Copies of this chain bind each other. A is one copy, B any other.
Amino acid sequence: MVHIGIIGALGYTGKEIIHYLTRHRMVKIVRLWDKAVKDSGESLDAIFPEFKNILDIKVEHFHKKDLENIDVVFLSLPHTVSMGIASEISDNVKLIIDLSADYRFKDSNVYEKWYQTAHKDKDNLKKSVYGLPEIARDKIKGSKFIANPGCYPTSMILGLYPLAESGLLKDAQVIVDSKTGSSGAGRKASLGLIFSEINENLKPYKINQHQHMPEVTAFFKEEFKLNFDLSFVPQIIPISRGIISMIYVIFKDKNRKDFRKIYEDCYQKEPFIRLCKKGEVPELKNVANSNFCDLGYLDYVNDNTFLIISAIDNLGKGAASQAVQNMNIALGFDEREALL
């Protein structure tokens, strides 16, 4: 049994990691940590009664000595906080999977610009792998430090990757119109998140100013030396979970080509990427509570604009289940363990 600890267990993402791991046959959650509990710790099911009869464990404040018995640590923490802890514990465990943004930018300047803070752990940054299994599976295998991608970026990168890999994104203009559920904003008291504000509403926010935007451009720059023109329009809709991105790729060239085959070739062996049938579209409900990314439409909406619709569960493939998938790959387990 591989022993797991989760730091930041009481957010929506932490809770979701616990859910997936309780179904995992080769690992065991042995430690949960979170600052929000009182000094003496609190039992998990006192905070989240849904875990009663499923997992009997205490949530405690983190102390480094607790790591003795731990193989893998999931960090489900705000940015900055994450690198503060990761830098201290990376020698003590076999694998760290960090769900914050702290290790997602190989170029720390981009990180520092968008997150307005200095990077404090460039050693681990160098070692870390950007954990998108469909793209970086080989690097993830045996890795010791995985930066789990952001939710929006997962939906966007998986939608754009086949075009990028085929050299088609060069000179293209990309507009992404994304809609997310409210859990993406985290489990925190905030006036903008209360039910009466979200219900019967759609709210665009942080247009072209969302910190997940440079994560996408940095990825393609790093991977393909590719610069392309990206506009990003995120919106919050009244659902608990899910992200669906309408990705409009506007080519200079008006000769419509059938890119469908490119997608089929690229993803045909992927267990968690599903292409919709020709003429069909993804719907959020199909990916809820799952690790799937559904890609669809995959056709032109006019002479020069190709539309990819990409749907994921923001807490699943956009966070927790992708983290588990990364762990499975890193440790040599069946990639699908606990995820179907």
Contacts and interface: CB of A to CB of B under 8 A. Distances in A.
B246 A204 contact: yes
Nearest to A209: B279
B190 A194 contact: yes
Interface string A52-78: 111000000000000000000000000
Q: Which of A182, A271, A272 has the most CB of B within 10 A?
A: A182
A240 interface: yes
B200 A196 contact: no
B195 A182 contact: yes
Nearest to A336: B53
A189 B187 contact: no
Given A49-B276, A233-B301, A272-B53, A196 B204 contact: no
A25 to B, nearest CB: 9
Interface stretch (A109-117, A130-138, A286-294, A326-334): A286-294
A207 interface: yes
Given A195-B194, A196-B187, A305-B175, A238 B240 contact: no
Contact of A195 (B195, B208, B250, B289): B195
A253 to B, nearest CB: 14
Contact of A250 (B12, B173, B271): B173
Contact of A274 (B12, B52, B189, B287): B52
A169 B299 CA distance: 25
A197 B185 CA distance: 13
A274 B53 contact: yes
Interface in A171-219: 173, 175, 177, 179, 181-183, 187-191, 193-205, 207-208
A90 to B, nearest CB: 32
B194 A187 contact: yes
> What size tier do the contact residues of chain A reach?
35 or more
A221 interface: no
A191 B189 contact: yes
Q: How many copies does the complex hold?
A: 4
Given A196-B240, A244-B202, A231 B305 contact: yes
A23 interface: yes
A330 to B, nearest CB: 22
Interface in A120-140: none
Contact of A196 (B175, B183, B196, B309): B183
Nearest to A236: B195
A156 B116 CA distance: 38
B53 A239 contact: no
Nearest to A292: B53
Given A53-B292, A194-B187, A302 B242 contact: no
21 contacts: A23-B23, A49-B286, A173-B250, A173-B302, A179-B235, A188-B194, A189-B191, A189-B193, A190-B194, A193-B196, A194-B194, A196-B240, A199-B238, A199-B239, A202-B237, A204-B309, A231-B305, A231-B307, A233-B246, A233-B307, A237-B237
Interface of A: 12, 22-23, 46, 48-50, 52-54, 173, 175, 177, 179, 181-183, 187-191, 193-205, 207-208, 229-231, 233, 235, 237-242, 244, 246, 248, 250, 271-272, 274, 276-277, 280-290, 292, 294, 297, 301-305, 307, 309, 340
